[in-house]
Chain A
Amino acid sequence: MSWFNNWTWPTRLRDKGIIGMNRRNIRYIGRYNSRRLYPLVDDKLKTKLLAQQYGITSPELIGTVTTQFGVKHIGEMLTGHPGFVIKPAKGSGGKGILVIEKVEDNTFIKPSGAKLTLTDVERHVSNILSGLYSLGGSPDVAVIETLINFDESLMDYTYEGVPDIRVIVFKGYPVMAMMRLSTAASDGKANLHQGAVGVGLNIATGAALRAVQFDRPCFSHPDTGHDLASLVVPQWETLLNLAAGCYEMTGLGYLGTDMVLDRKHGPMLLELNARPGLAIQMTNGEGLRRRLDLIERQPDGVPAKQRVAFCQHHFARQSELVESPDTTSSNA
């Protein structure tokens, strides 16, 4: 019986406006994302260069490694940088990203405290180049960029890793947003299926609506214990404008933008995703369907500022974290 209770009916999902994988693939990705534009977002190096061209802030590039020969020179490239991130240009799902928080006498320290030698780092770069983390195992390029000094206002809400903000941008309209908080379970990574906490964000204000871990609701960060209801993303409007601008930058109609908040530079574009996942519906407790239908009825060629204002007006919501203390206690 309990096994049966874990399932729901398709009609109830449809009433909620939930979009399934098949619908996303055919109706949105297939229709609005032209295949020839994929390389722009699948290759993080290209995205980064394009972002610089369009004036969209993103983490500073330290350098790239393109040949196995170049791996030997990586030590020189890294000197003088206290913290950095090495990622495969064509990696997917956060695979192959190595974050080094600080360097002490030639040992590289990860956010978890694990220590790596230069050989370990070189091996990682070598793996990236041989295509271990790229789609289809094709040869790849390693991109090294500066570590983000993430905003301290959000420090309490995360464990080890950098919290990032995912905004779904549909035809240039930021339709739905969530923040991903890394946990001990997710090993400092902001991947929801690995156990990161997803917090649905109010498009109007950037305040938390609802939080889930492993697709089930939660109300405080499992590691820091910090209450999630008080979470509000600072510089929210700048962030939305940045996200909305990615539509003009790439031409992709259905886009997942991953942003981070830097202490100095404010919102920054981390990477783009032409096939954003559906977990954002879980974190918002709402299906994407109605919002996407509304946007589909809007005319083309509206400037980014107006699009953001439109969404802030139409998609405003009340937080579920503050308002229902009885649900909190029943779930505790």
Chain B
Amino acid sequence: MSRLMFYIIVGLLLVAGIATSIHRHVQFEIPWLPGEQRQVWEIEAGINFNAQDGPVQVDLALPSHQAGYRVLTENTASSGYGLAYQADELGRTAQWTIREAAGSQTLYYSVQMLVSQDARAPAQTPPEMTPITPWESPYDTAASQLIEQAWARSANNATFARELIRDVNGERQGENARLLLSQENPAALVVRLLNQAGVLAREVSGLLLEDGRRRQTLSSWIQVFDESGEQWAIFHPLTGEQGKPENLLLWETGGRAVLEVQGGTNSRATFSMMTHDQPASAAVRNHYSEDTLLNFSIHSLPLEEQALFQTILLIPIGALMVVFLRVLVGIKTSGTFMPVLIALAFIQTTLPTGLIGFLLIVAVGLIIRNYLSYLNLLLVARVSAVIITVIAIISIFTVLAYRMGLSAGLTITFFPMIILAWTIERMSILWEEEGPKQVLIQGGGSLITAVLAYLAMNNPWVRHITFNFLGVQLILMALILLLGNYTGYRLLELRRFKPITDDEKPS
């Protein structure tokens, strides 16, 4: 019965671990391998206006997740202003407010967009048709003529939109179009005509992304709802070309104003942008996401705590290594998890320096500890004395290494001194009681375990996986539970018990 429970628990841990990992991989596009580069655009919007000595309210439309791009992080700089983010079905906005403002004002909004092939816009229901404002005479006849001509030459909404755009802008621009353009700008005119013909259409604002450009403005684009594909098709407002250019970032898609300023004049928003590649892991760290339980991740913590967790999350890997080497191989170590702590120190010092440093400290420590045993001290006092000795050894080696120009020697301070002191104490007792051979076996076992744990923990792939997929911790837990249930032979027992199996041969 309890066995069944055990396997159910292990199974649940495995399933939960794998499922959360796959969820993170699919949902947040965190790659399984480290080192993949992702392109990230940093875009800054600067809003300038002159405040008129009174309350000011500024509304700026903000970009959302969309085809090809994903919002990573966003920041604002606006001293003294109250700030609120708002979102509705038409899009997101940032609202700055202040009671008293005078003179030239500048507000900044910056956003990091991750270039991502699989990103999709959130599902949008087509908006209700806006009520059509009727044209006054003589514009009404011009408009209906334009619509009729384009309608006759088209087959569906998309081609109808294309024909209308060409009639309004290109070489085919006729008298009717010129008349209507005196009332509206081309993009707005096309949208109005489309709506009049009963086609869902809207004017959207987008930013053409080019590396290193400053003081850019948004451009107008026309979106037409494609009744067959049930999605918005995008058209260039002048050429009628269909389809979204790859470097077009849609900034506002609700058909509303990008910038609204109350209590200010001469307002305008300009955009500067730059792009850079960064490792996928870093891109992941900046992921902008809502706080739900499923995307629970270390990345919501401040950077400093994240760095700490990067190390903490590696410890289970070291522990798994220790369990593996002790249960399946049968290596003896001095102190169960001492090798993991030494391996953590190796990560800071790099392996060669770490190994040399460890051997130097333990060897010198053993010699001094040997002398201390003649002083007939109480245990706690003696271990404390060894701790001070270890600190002294570390200081001396650090200074010597620095004098000799070996900067690698400075990292020796990363060794856990108390653990080292206890290691020296245990080794020393082992030496007295069981002889140097046991010291070599246990010391060597600890060192081999530490090196293997270090190699596992310092592997870039392992670091990437443990840090980005918390579900892996559950898988590690399940593996350790399974190993803890292993009743078979250890590798070294195959050697130990060998003589017994020999006896049968002669008879």
A-side interface residues toward B, CB under 8 Å?
Answer: 6-10, 12-13, 16, 18, 20-23, 26-27, 68, 95, 119, 123, 126-127, 130-132, 137, 193-194, 212, 215-217, 281-282, 285-287, 320, 324, 326-327
Would you call B500 and A22 a contact (CB within 8 A)?
no
With known contacts A22-B327, A281-B500, A282-B500, A327–B488 Cβ distance under 8 A: no
**Docked CA distance A16–B485 (Å):** 22
**Docked CA distance A123–B330 (Å):** 36
Would you call A26 and B485 a contact (CB within 8 A)?
yes
Q: Which of A13, A68, A119, A320 contacts B489 (CB 8 A)?
A: A13
Q: Which of B434, B435, B493 contacts A20 (CB 8 A)?
A: B493
Chain A residues within 8 Å of B493, by CB = 13, 18, 20-21
**Docked CA distance A126–B375 (Å):** 13
Would you call A9 and B494 a contact (CB within 8 A)?
yes
Would you call A131 and B487 a contact (CB within 8 A)?
no
B-side interface residues toward A, CB under 8 Å?
Answer: 327, 330, 376, 378-380, 429, 433-435, 485-490, 493-501, 503, 506-507
Chain B residues within 8 Å of A27, by CB = 487
> Residue of A at shortest CB range from B486?
A22
A-B contact pairs, 17 of them (CB 8 A): A7-B495, A8-B494, A8-B498, A10-B489, A10-B494, A13-B493, A16-B500, A20-B487, A20-B489, A20-B493, A22-B487, A26-B487, A27-B487, A95-B433, A217-B499, A217-B503, A285-B503
Would you call B494 and A68 a contact (CB within 8 A)?
no
> Residue of A at shortest CB range from B434?
A194
B330 to chain A, nearest CB (A): 7
With known contacts A22-B487, A126-B376, A285–B500 Cβ distance under 8 A: yes
**Docked CA distance A194–B487 (Å):** 27
B180 to chain A, nearest CB (A): 87
Chain B residues within 8 Å of A131, by CB = 379
B205 to chain A, nearest CB (A): 68
* Closest CB pairs A-B (n = 6): A130-B379, A20-B489, A23-B487, A8-B498, A12-B501, A123-B376
**Docked CA distance A20–B328 (Å):** 11
Q: A26-B485, A320-B503 are in contact. List 6 more A-B contacts (CB 8 A).
A: A7-B494, A7-B498, A20-B487, A126-B378, A287-B500, A324-B507
Would you call A13 and B501 a contact (CB within 8 A)?
yes
Would you call B494 and A130 a contact (CB within 8 A)?
no
Chain B residues within 8 Å of A287, by CB = 500
Chain A residues within 8 Å of B496, by CB = 215, 282
Would you call A8 and B490 a contact (CB within 8 A)?
no
A158 to chain B, nearest CB (A): 20
With known contacts A20-B488, A20-B493, A327-B506, A132–B500 Cβ distance under 8 A: no
Chain A residues within 8 Å of B500, by CB = 13, 16, 18, 281-282, 285-287
Chain A residues within 8 Å of B380, by CB = 130
> Residue of B at shortest CB range from A17?
B500
**Docked CA distance A9–B434 (Å):** 30
> Residue of B at shortest CB range from A124?
B376
B439 to chain A, nearest CB (A): 14
**Docked CA distance A120–B169 (Å):** 108
Would you call B488 and A18 a contact (CB within 8 A)?
no
Between A132, A212, A286, the greatest number of chain B beta carbons within 10 A of the residue's beta carbon is seen for A132
B137 to chain A, nearest CB (A): 95
**Docked CA distance A9–B497 (Å):** 10
**Docked CA distance A285–B507 (Å):** 14
B114 to chain A, nearest CB (A): 48
Would you call B485 and A132 a contact (CB within 8 A)?
no
**Docked CA distance A281–B501 (Å):** 11
Would you call B490 and A215 a contact (CB within 8 A)?
no
> Residue of B at shortest CB range from A284?
B500
Chain B residues within 8 Å of A126, by CB = 376, 378
Would you call B499 and A281 a contact (CB within 8 A)?
no
Would you call B494 and A137 a contact (CB within 8 A)?
no
Between B376, B485, B507, the greatest number of chain A beta carbons within 10 A of the residue's beta carbon is seen for B376
Chain B residues within 8 Å of A6, by CB = 495, 498
**Docked CA distance A132–B372 (Å):** 14
**Docked CA distance A132–B433 (Å):** 12
Between A13, A194, A324, A326, the greatest number of chain B beta carbons within 10 A of the residue's beta carbon is seen for A13
Chain A residues within 8 Å of B485, by CB = 26
Chain A residues within 8 Å of B488, by CB = 10, 20, 22-23
A276 to chain B, nearest CB (A): 16
Q: Which of B379, B489, B494, B499 contacts A132 (CB 8 A)?
A: B379
**Docked CA distance A132–B506 (Å):** 48
> Residue of A at shortest CB range from B328?
A22
> Residue of B at shortest CB range from A20?
B489
Would you call B497 and A8 a contact (CB within 8 A)?
yes
**Docked CA distance A130–B501 (Å):** 44
B216 to chain A, nearest CB (A): 68
Chain A residues within 8 Å of B506, by CB = 324, 326-327
Chain A residues within 8 Å of B376, by CB = 119, 123, 126
**Docked CA distance A23–B497 (Å):** 14
Would you call B379 and A137 a contact (CB within 8 A)?
yes
Would you call A20 and B495 a contact (CB within 8 A)?
no
A6 to chain B, nearest CB (A): 5
B468 to chain A, nearest CB (A): 34
Would you call B379 and A127 a contact (CB within 8 A)?
yes
Would you call B433 and A281 a contact (CB within 8 A)?
no
Would you call A13 and B494 a contact (CB within 8 A)?
yes
Between A68, A127, A287, the greatest number of chain B beta carbons within 10 A of the residue's beta carbon is seen for A127
B386 to chain A, nearest CB (A): 13
B423 to chain A, nearest CB (A): 13
A127 to chain B, nearest CB (A): 7
Chain B residues within 8 Å of A194, by CB = 434-435
Would you call A68 and B378 a contact (CB within 8 A)?
yes
